[in-house]
Amino acid sequence: MGLFLRQDQPWRASRRETALSGVALFVVLMAVWLLNSGHYTPLIIGFGVASSLLVVFLSWRMGIVDREGLPVHLLPRATVYAPWLFKEIFTANVDVAKRVLTPFEPNISPRLFDTGVTQKTDLGRVIYANSITLTPGTVSIGVKGSYITVHAIAEDVADGLQEGEMDRRVTWLEGERR
Pair 84, 166: CB distance under 8 Å: no
Instruction: Tell me how far, at minimum, the Cβ of 73 lies from another protein, in Å.
Output: 18
Q: Which is nearer to another protein, 53 or 108 (CB)?
A: 108
Instruction: Tell me how far, at minimum, the Cβ of 66 lies from another protein, in Å.
Output: 18
Q: Which is nearer to another protein, 56 or 148 (CB)?
A: 148
Instruction: Tell me how far, at minimum, the Cβ of 18 lies from another protein, in Å.
Output: 23
Q: How far apart are the C-alpha atoms of 91 and 97, rounded to whole Å?
A: 10
Instruction: Tell me how far, at minimum, the Cβ of 132 lies from another protein, in Å.
Output: 8
Q: How far apart are the C-alpha atoms of 48 and 33, rounded to whole Å?
A: 6
Q: How far apart are the C-alpha atoms of 97 and 132, rounded to whole Å?
A: 17
Q: Which is nearer to another protein, 12 or 151 (CB)?
A: 151
Helix axes 165-174, 75-101, angle to 10 degrees: 160
Q: Give the interface with another protein as residue ranges (CB under 8 A).
A: 32, 35-36, 38, 89-90, 93, 96-97, 100-101, 106, 108-112, 129-131, 133-142, 149, 151, 153
Pair 93, 138: CB distance under 8 Å: no
CA within 13 Å, CB half, 137: 26
Q: Which is nearer to another protein, 31 or 62 (CB)?
A: 31
